[in-house]
Amino acid sequence: MTRSSRRVYDLAHSRAGDKGNTSNVSVIAYRPEDWDTLVAELTVDRVAEAFGHITRGPIRRYELPKLHALNFVIEGALGGGVTRSLAQDPHGKGLSSLMLTIELPVGLRAQQDGTRSARETAES
Amino acid sequence: MRHDERRVSARRSSVRIGCGAGMSDDRIGPAADLVERGELDVIVFECLAERTIARETLARSRDPERGYTPTMAARLRAVLPACRRHGVRIVTNMGAANPSAGARLAQREAKDLGLPGISCAVVKGDDVTDLLRGMGSLPLLETGEPLESILPDMASANAYLGADVVAAAMDTGADVVVTGRVADPSLFVGPLIHYFGWSGADLHQLAAGTIAGHLLECSAQVTGGCFADPGRKEVPGLSDLGYPFAEIDTDGRVVLSKTPGSGGRLDRATCTEQLLYEIHDPAAYLTPDCVLDITDVDFVQRGPDRVEVRGAAARPPTSSYKVVVGYFDGFIGSGEITFAGINAVERARLGADLVQQRLARRGLAYSETRIDLIGMTSLHGRDDGRGAPYEVRLRVAARTTSRAAAAAVGAEVRSLHMQGPASAGGGIDQGVQEVLAVKSVLLPRHLVTPSVEFMAA
């Protein structure tokens, strides 16, 4: 087992959108062969850890296998909503680049095949 | 030409519909290029953010001939001549809080350009402000609190109307369709219903039209905007992004492309990012026209900057309209100042403490205060040991019900020049912003009555 890690940035690209006080952040594999790694390793728990200082709201993950894309819906992430936030980035456009900083373990392929059929996976 | 004749002659097997703007401050030039070179049937300008109508409602209350999007005249001036030359019809929500005045503006602009004979259709009925005053028990989406809690401060309330009324406006034969609040994809689906005669039972086709509208509605965000990352994701011609259009046929085949000869890129990667933009559950994207399911969507590259969109599905729409309610939500005061060199971050933090102490000493109350160290924490909100930057800009922002208390924030930041830590530079009193916020409710459809008013040339 290696101890090394790689960033989501190395595997995927991302865009963030806003609706009310909820941000959605897509994660799209550049290469089809990295899709399984993202599904297995970019869990709701890892995303909750990265975004925990911004929101404690629920996070949901959706899978779009044909596009090799995940969609994370992160509630409470926009400082009360685009129209009333005190933040410099009220739309949370910059949150996609936070998603890409998350580090994923290498060589620790989780045995998650059994859970893959569920479109909507864990909720924290 | 009589309207019923227009309707019949409108039928065709394929329609090209473009996007000329994805926000009220979008660039103006690319729309004219798209009309000149895109061989379009229709161009849509989507210019309403969630709170924009609230702002324009205030403008209308000061002047009954205002309340449309402020950039409307400039946008129309830029495209009307080319639209006339190429027979391209315009659909836009730039009517905002006053679509009738927007349509009169369009006719005045056309006349000034020497283009008489421009007819308009106005979509009405989205304004439900008076109706909501009596419906305080409706729950607000997201929080579940009753609407009552913001009713006293309500500035506007507008239902997201659907494609049916946009189609009815197109049926009049108008050259320009001016709406207020309409769901963004519906601005695109409406013309398709008009040309193809789709009904509510044509769910496969409505899915195709809705996904096309969703992909187009943010203009250059699907053609290479919001995408480039040097060395990782390159976008050619980024300073001259072409705006997108879709070619849609009566069976619901959708192919996206962009202005010929323009910059940018349109491919699987840009389309996938924009497909998921502002989507929550991919199996249930709610519009007034359908519940769109994009779970099985795929993109197929059909040529350079040509992408076919496949696999969208839809279920019938819900029985509600979403209503966005604009309301006054107090004031935000803010100020910024910069520190550089040795110990810059500690001086900035001392400055932040001083501002807060001063505001407290003056007995001013703030329900929420935010301290940003720009260069360290302003976008991602945390400083996890990446090392101190050479320069850092302190920003203090605070929320309050009082304009004077909001003004004090910037003033105290500015006073750090003389009475704060050493060597504080570039202090700016950012001043005061009156907050027009929005929340949403769901309103049963039967309470809303969309309608169309035709304005002959």
The domain that contains B398 carries what CATH number? 3.30.70
A18 domain residue, yes or no: yes
Long-range pairs for B411-418: beta carbons < 8 A, 24 or more residues apart:
B411/B335, B412/B335, B412/B354, B412/B355, B412/B358, B412/B359, B413/B334, B413/B335, B413/B336, B413/B337, B413/B351, B413/B355, B414/B335, B414/B337, B415/B358, B416/B337, B416/B351, B416/B354, B416/B355, B417/B337
Task: Output the pLDDT for position A117.
Answer: 37
Q: What is the pLDDT of residues B302-317, one digit of tens each?
A: 999 999 999 999 999 9
**In chain A, what residues touch B335 (CB-CB under 8 Å)?**
none
Specify if B456 maps to a domain: no
Same domain, B275 and B231: yes
pLDDT at A121: 46
Handedness of CA B196, B197, B199, B202 (dihedral sign): negative
Task: Suggest the residue from B232, B272, B293, B328 to mutate for an interface test with chain A (most A CBs closer than 10 A).
Answer: B272
Interface confidence, given as ipTM, is 0.93
Inter-chain touch A73–B296, beta carbons under 8 Å: no
Question: Do residue B364 and residue B293 come from a single domain?
Answer: no
Residues of chain B scoring pLDDT < 50: 1-6, 8
Three-class DSSP category at A106: coil
A119 DSSP assignment:
S
Look at residues B384, B277, B278 and name the one whose alpha carbon lies nearest to residue A103: B384
Cα–Cα distance for residue pair B147/B360, rounded to 1 Å: 33
Q: How many CB atoms lie within 10 A of CB B437?
A: 22
Q: Which domain holds residue B395?
A: 325-439
Interface residue B368 vs chain A (CB under 8 A) = yes
In-domain check, residue A122 = no
What part of B 268-287 touches A (C-beta under 8 Å)? 268-269, 272-283
**Please, are residues B422 and B346 in contact by the beta-carbon 8 Å criterion?**
no
Using the beta-carbon criterion (under 8 Å), do B398 and A69 form an inter-chain contact?
no
Domain termination site, one of B268, B287, B318: B318
Residue A112's pLDDT is: 43
Q: State which residue of chain B sits closest to A121, comparing Cα positions.
A: B281
Domain for residue A44, yes or no?
yes
- pLDDT value for A29: 98
Residue B452 lies in a domain: no
- Look at residue B434 and give its three-state secondary structure: strand
What percent of chain B is helix, strand and coil (3-state, nearest 5)? Answer: 35, 30, 35
* Pair of tokens at residue B416: 């750090």
- Distance from the B270 Cα atom to the nearest Cα atom in chain A, whole angstroms: 10
| Closest of B192, B123, B131 to residue B156, by C-alpha | B131
| Domain membership flag for residue B79 | yes
Residue, of B58 and A3, whose pLDDT is higher: B58
- Rounded Cα distance between B439 and B448, Å, is 18
Cβ contacts (< 8 Å) between B399 and chain A: which residues? Answer: 84, 86
CA distance A17 to chain B (A): 4
Question: B295 and B331: one domain?
Answer: no
Q: In this structure, is residue A93 part of a structural domain?
A: yes
Name the residue facing A24 among B278, B379, B436 (closest C-beta): B278
Q: Using the CB atoms, write b or e for A60-78: b if 16+ within 10 Å.
A: bbbbbeebbbbbbbbbbbb
In chain B, residues with a C-beta closer than 8 Å to the C-beta of A34 are: none
Q: Which residue in B332, B352, B330, B331 sits closest to B397, CA to CA? A: B332
**Percent of chain A at pLDDT exceeding 70:** 82
Is B409 in a helix, a strand, or coil?
helix
Return the residue matching tokens 């209308």.
B60
Q: How many domains does chain A fold into?
A: 1
Last residue of a domain, one of B318, B350, B371: B318
Q: How many CB pairs under 8 A join A and B?
A: 123
Q: How far apart are CA A90 and CA A84, in angstroms?
A: 8
- The answer to whether B142 contacts A22, with C-beta atoms less than 8 Å apart, is yes
B298 touches chain A (CB under 8 A): yes
* pLDDT for position A5: 77
Q: Give the model's pLDDT for residue B188.
A: 98
Which two structure tokens, joined as six digits, stand for B277?
Answer: 């933009």
**A107 confidence band (pLDDT: 50, 70, 90):** low
| Residue A31 reports pLDDT greater than 50 | yes
In a domain, A112, yes or no: no
- Sheet holding B291-293: strands in order across? B285-286, B291-293, B313-315
Q: Which residue has the tokens 């819906």?
A: A73
Nearest to B259 by CA among B31, B47, B28, B78: B31
Distance from CA of B294 to the nearest CA of A (A): 8
Taking Cα atoms as reference points, which of A38, A26, A27 lies closest to residue A104?
A: A38
Residues B309 and B335 in one domain: no
What is the gyration radius of the CA atoms in chain B, in angstroms?
Answer: 25
Are B189 and B163 spatial neighbours (Cβ–Cβ below 8 Å)? yes
Structure tokens at B179: 């709406």
Spatial contact of B35 and B83, defined as CB atoms under 8 Å apart = yes
Of the candidates B188, B209, B177, B171, the one whose C-alpha atom is nearest the C-alpha of residue B10 is B171
CA B167 to chain centre: 21
Q: Where are the alpha helices (DSSP H) in B277-373?
A: 344-361
Q: Are residues B89 and B186 in the same domain?
A: yes
Same-domain check for residues B251 and B236? yes
Report, in angstroms and rounded to the nearest whole number, the Rg of chain A calculated over CA atoms: 14
Check whether residue B101 and residue B169 sit in a common domain.
yes
**Is the pLDDT score of A124 beyond 90?**
no
Q: Which residue has the tokens 């006053």?
A: B98
Backbone dihedral angles phi then psi of residue B126, each to the nearest 5 degrees: -75, -25
User: Last residue of a domain, which of B288, B318, B348?
Assistant: B318
B5: CB partners within 8 A, 6+ apart: none
The verdict on a CB contact (< 8 Å) between A13 and B298 is no
Which of B298, B372, B439 shows the shortest C-beta gap to A67? B298
Euclidean distance between CA atoms B160 and B175, whole angstroms? 23
**In A, what residues contact B, Cβ < 8 A?**
9, 13-15, 17-22, 24, 26, 28, 30, 53-54, 60, 62, 64, 66-67, 69, 71, 73, 79-84, 86-89, 93-95, 97-98, 101, 119-120
Whether A123 is covered by a domain: the verdict is no
Nearest to A17 by CA among B38, B275, B326, B19: B275
Contact B372 A26 (CB under 8 A): no
Q: Which residues of B touch A84 (CB under 8 A)?
A: 329, 399, 435, 437
pLDDT at A116 over 80: no
Domain assignment present for residue A43? The answer is yes
Same-domain pairing of B116 and B201: yes
Q: Are the CB atoms for B138 and B132 separated by under 8 Å?
A: yes
In a domain, A113, yes or no: no
A15:B226 CB<8 A:
yes
Rounded Cα distance between B53 and B157, Å, is: 8
Would you say B166 and B190 are in contact if contact means Cβ atoms under 8 Å apart?
A: yes
Task: Write out residues 195-254 of B within 8 Å (CB-CB) of A.
Answer: 226-227, 229, 232-233
Residue B301 shares a structural domain with residue B345: no
Residues B370 and B223 in one domain: no
More confident residue, A120 or B63: B63
Spatial separation of the C-alpha atoms in residues A48 and A51, rounded to whole Å: 5
Touching check for B9 and chain A: CB below 8 Å? no
Q: Is B386 exposed, middle or buried (0-12, 13-18, 19+ CB in 10 A)?
A: exposed
**A44 and A115 Cβ atoms separated by less than 8 Å:** no
Contact assignment for A83 to B142 by CB distance below 8 Å: no
B153 assigned to some structural domain = no
- Domain assignment present for B375: yes
User: Do both B165 and B314 map to the same domain?
Assistant: yes
Name the residue in chain A with its Cα closest to that of B383: A53
Q: Are residues B34 and B167 in the same domain?
A: yes
Q: What pLDDT shows up at residue A119?
A: 43
Range of the domain at A59: 5-106
CA count, 13 A, side-chain hemisphere, B18: 30
> Is B8 within a domain?
yes
The alpha-carbon gap from A94 to the nearest alpha carbon of chain B, in Å, equals 6
Q: In a mutagenesis test of the A interface, which of B380, B383, B432 is the best target, namely the one with the most A β-carbons within 10 Å? A: B380
Number of domains observed in the structure of chain B: 2
**Any CB–CB contact under 8 A between B10 and chain A?**
no
The one-character DSSP state at B290 is -
